[in-house]
Structure 1
Amino acid sequence: MRLTVNNEETFVSTGGKPFDASGTVLLFIHGSGQSHLSWVLQARFFANRGWSVLAPDLPGHGLSGGEAITSVEGVADWCIDLLDTAGVETAIVIGHSQGGLVGLDLTSRHSGRVERLAIIASALAIPVTEGLLALAENDEQQAISAMVSNSHGGTGHRHDHTMPGQSHMLYGEQVMGRNRPGVLLNDLNACNNYTRGPDAAAAIDCPTLCILAGRDRMVPTRSGLAMTETIRDCQHVVIPDSGHFVQSEYSVETNTALRPFFLSTS
């Protein structure tokens, strides 16, 4: 589906089903240097089980036009503009990594628009090393390769994939490689500069689920666990053997954790 958000064409995956704004809407927010393709195993799964799915390519990413937004707060505000454009009053928000920071910020400042929040492989802050920032600036392809490798656990490196014929490594590089030059550095800087995490978490009053990866080398599990202690109504699941790209590496376990959370009324 293509929408015009803030005068820019935006590509939004609906999981292969027509989008119905009157249904229970799931808004999936991807991470740094990613696109809607990082959610393909969630978008299809939930769209085929009755949920209304919005999995956008953020501005400047994937198939969307515009320039990449330079701050987490800016992406959060853009997501509200997307909901307005799609005619959605409230949604369940799901964010991975940088998208988790966006989910925190969005929910804290626009609480009336969020029914529930799911945060995957994220934390209150995501500091980025100077080495990775320099690599993203000077040799983006090497930065992508390093991030894809470090974002997978043993299962991903062994190519044990829930989509037969695919490789986690190659798929990850393909997804990140489809963005315009400079987008990855932009996103990493947005993560590095975000400081509102503790205040945002303290302001969240909706039910929250955190899905954490036990072998996450990008956002340490301990940082995610610390975040769960600062959100009032929060439950968490740790997928022990997964790396950072938990929703693709362990998609069945991720969807199994998400589904009852989406269905819960308490």
Structure 2
Amino acid sequence: MRLPPFPALTALEAAARHRSYSRAADELFVTHGAVSQQIRKLEDELGVRLFVRQGNTMEPTATGAALASRVAESLATLRAGVDSARRAAIGPIVLSTGAAFATRWLVTRLARVSDETGELDLTVRVEDRVADLSGDGVDVALRFGAGPWSGVESVRLFSERLFPVCSPALLARHPIDKPEDLLTAPLLRHTALPWSAWFRAMGLSAPDLPPSLGFDDTSMMLDAAAQGLGVALARSGLSERDLRDGRLVRPLAGEVDVDTGHHFVWRADNPKLARILRLRDWFVAETATARGAPPSAG
């Protein structure tokens, strides 16, 4: 069954509460005549009197009072829902990211985020886990992987490339002019980035590497490479700052494209969606400008 128009119901509730069409009109920012007309139309639609005049007041009938009470309850429920939605839409946008991406890529750009997006309330949560975005208080995740992921929206920011990096001092001590030169260079190992993939892509058999320093943390491995401890197999997105600052150089131009990459991930039903989409657009634009390969040292 079709409900009466919402303005008529709100006029009924206000008039019953104030016992006055005039005071109801003041509250609703309409004229006395508009309230009177809405209630008259409601009475015609329902086929029952809702108010009777008693002196200077408009008294609701039993039917009018009962209906006004139900409308008041419904309005209270609506207001609570709207207030809840408003509260959910405010507060910080919580962004989850891994430690390496946070320290090697994101931190160098945080100073510009608020200026260029207008987002003043951003909390960065550095954690080595996959945030589920459904009940853990996280609004946005910067995920590394192949994607896509079930239950969330995502956009790829950039794909990774793998290439060797080392310190300028190490390169001076151990010239590297061709891929074969790495066979005798001190190589740093990462537990998740085997050198074998790069050697095969360069047309070389994967060597049996001698014992060497190994890491499960990319930032620590790149710092070790910058200290001249060896050559690291770097991911493009995490080494750009060190290459730009000259702490690391690329001794060779050869690189390997991989299927994995960095993604901006969010839920479409998040009440902060408008703010999240502005942030997403900034990340997409920012990564588009920085997508070119860093210059080679050779």
TM-score by length of 2: 0.29
